[in-house]
Copies of this chain bind each other. A is one copy, B any other.
Amino acid sequence: MSFHFEYPRTIAARRPGEFKPAAPKFHVRWQAPVTTIVSDYIAVQRQASDMAAERAFFQRMRRAFDSAYGPDSFEEMRQTDEAGMVNSIVVAYWTDIVRYALWKHVDSFNAWFRSTEREQEAVGYWRETLTVPYDRMETIFSEPYYHAGLARTRQAALEPMYTAGYFGAMRDRLPISAIDPLNSPYGETTPEGNYAGGPVRRVRVDVPPNVVSIRSGQVWQKAEGEQLDDYYQNLQPKLETGMAYLKEHPETTGYLSLRAIVHLDKDGQELRETSKHGYFLALAQLERWAAEHKSHLDIFKHALAMRRKYGADRQVVTWHEVFVLGTTPSLEYINCHPGTGLLRFANVWGNPPPSN
Give the B-binding residues of A (Cβ under 8 A).
Answer: 3, 5, 7-8, 10, 32-33, 35-36, 97-99, 101-102, 105, 114, 131, 133, 135, 176, 179-180, 183-186, 195, 198, 200, 202-204, 208-210, 326-328, 330, 332, 334, 346, 350-356
Contacts A3-B179, A202-B353 known; list 10 others, CB within 8 Å: A33-B180, A35-B176, A36-B327, A97-B326, A131-B326, A131-B327, A195-B356, A203-B356, A327-B328, A350-B356
Number of this chain's copies in the assembly equals 2
- Shortest beta-carbon distance from A253 to chain B in Å: 20
- The answer to whether A209 touches B98 (Cβ under 8 A) is yes
- Shortest beta-carbon distance from A26 to chain B in Å: 22
Contacts of A332 in B (CB 8 A): 353
25 contacts between A and B (CB under 8 A): A10-B33, A35-B135, A97-B326, A97-B327, A98-B183, A98-B184, A98-B185, A99-B185, A101-B327, A102-B185, A105-B186, A105-B208, A114-B352, A133-B133, A133-B326, A202-B353, A202-B354, A204-B355, A326-B328, A327-B328, A330-B352, A346-B355, A350-B355, A351-B355, A352-B355
* Chain B, residue nearest A184 (CB): B98
A195 to B5, CA, bound (A): 43
Interface SS, A side? loop
A196 to B133, CA, bound (A): 36
- The answer to whether B326 touches A36 (Cβ under 8 A) is yes
Contacts of A105 in B (CB 8 A): 185-186, 208
* Chain B, residue nearest A131 (CB): B327
- Shortest beta-carbon distance from A172 to chain B in Å: 16
A184 to B99, CA, bound (A): 10
- Shortest beta-carbon distance from A210 to chain B in Å: 7
A209 to B103, CA, bound (A): 12
